[in-house]
Amino acid sequence: MSAIAAAAVLAGLVTAAGPAAAAGDAKCTPKIQVLDSIGDESYMRDMLRSQGVFDLGADGLAVGVSGHKPVYWTGTTLHPVPLADPNATGQVIAVNAHGLMVGMLRTSGGLSLFTYRVGDAAITPLPDSYGYDKEADVNDAGYVAYRSDGGVATVWKDGRKVRELSLPADAGPGMQTTMVTGINNHGDVLGMATQDYEVPETGEHVERTYPVLWPGDGTAARLLDPTMNESYVQDLDESGRVVGYDWAGPWHEYRTWVWEPPLGSPGSTPGGLSSHPYATFEAISPTTNVSVGTAKFHPDAMTLPDQALLRSGSGPVKALPRLAAGGASMAEAVSDTDLVGGAAVNAKGKLKPVIWTCATKQAYNPGS
């Protein structure tokens, strides 16, 4: 979700064998790199993920979840994020090029957000971040964007609020920000707003979800044109390209969706895998226009398990290899160095955090 830069603050922690080789590096070998894991490795579709990589940093740093605990990896080596409450669970959801992580903590009191850097003795809670359904992101300048407790999208740096993001004045009645999903290095912030109100004249109940972009130059927020269905935005790159998915019915009926800059149209779908009827985009690389996500079936008609997917530039959507035949896989993160992070089920039915190295070289058409 955040940009990957060459800056290295983790020298000495990252092994040469780690999954950090660039796409054009002669030493890069296309493979599925299985990372160390702890705790629960069970896999249940559409349930809270027990294992997985959610973002990729510089020089072999990856972040995510293992055994329902927030963790990070250097190379393949796992490091738990230190927590004061041993019963707390959570995950690290984003990292910038300088190793600043943003994570979500789940305790008996609910959900909250935190930041962490390698070497810190403890996590640092983010202000006004207690609540539910937490999403957040961080850019390379250290600006963290999330929906605060008051239901307003905000940007923070070093524990200080630097920007409060209002919805457009013409957004309509009953509109409120529901989540913040991304921030790029230009300071553009991406999120979602929901309109929920009753028309006084007719009593009609209107409920609609809209993608929102808050430009980094401080100009007014823009509601991105949705499709006739519900459109969900997951990530944006440095050019302002936005990826996500279009929801056309019950929860499972997703189509990959892309809004190309300049953002003035409802966007379009590049399709999905020929082997699966539904698919999502979850992340896009900062500058190389590679999008990743997961292809799906309806749970009542599971012809094939979920499968990680990749789209390179303007090309077709392709599949990423499974860790084991018949094992589900999912992609959540992608870097400019052709790495894709996610999770996959192995031959023993265990869910493992994984990184596909030289990912575009591994992608294939499942119909070929």
Tens of pLDDT along the chain (368 residues) come to 433 333 322 222 222 233 333 434 446 789 999 999 999 999 998 889 999 999 999 999 999 999 999 999 999 999 999 999 999 999 999 999 999 999 999 998 889 999 999 999 999 999 999 876 689 999 999 999 999 988 899 999 999 999 999 998 877 788 899 999 999 999 999 999 988 878 888 888 878 888 999 999 999 999 887 666 678 899 999 999 999 998 876 666 889 999 999 887 788 999 999 999 999 999 999 999 999 999 999 888 889 999 999 999 889 999 999 999 999 999 999 999 999 999 999 999 999 999 999 999 999 999 75
**294 strand-pairing partners:** 280, 308
The single-letter DSSP state of residue 131 is B
For residue 108, how many C-alpha atoms fall within 13 Å in the half-sphere facing its CB? 3
In a domain, 50, yes or no: yes
Angstrom distance (rounded) from CA 285 to CA 287 = 6
Structure token pair of residue 155: 């940007």
In this structure, are residues 234 and 181 in contact, taking their beta carbons and an 8 Å threshold? yes
3-class state of residue 361 by DSSP:
helix
Give, in order, the Cα–Cα distances in Å from 264 to each of 242, 261, 294: 12, 8, 27
CA 33 to chain centre: 19
127 CB neighbour count, 10 Å cutoff: 14
In a domain, 194, yes or no: no
Number of domains in the chain: 1
In a domain, 3, yes or no: no
Angstrom distance (rounded) from CA 10 to CA 80 = 16
| Model confidence pTM above 0.85 | yes
Q: Find the domain containing 46 and state its range.
A: 34-125
In a domain, 64, yes or no: yes
Residue 156: partners with Cβ closer than 8 Å, 6 or more residues away: 126, 127, 143, 144, 145, 146, 162
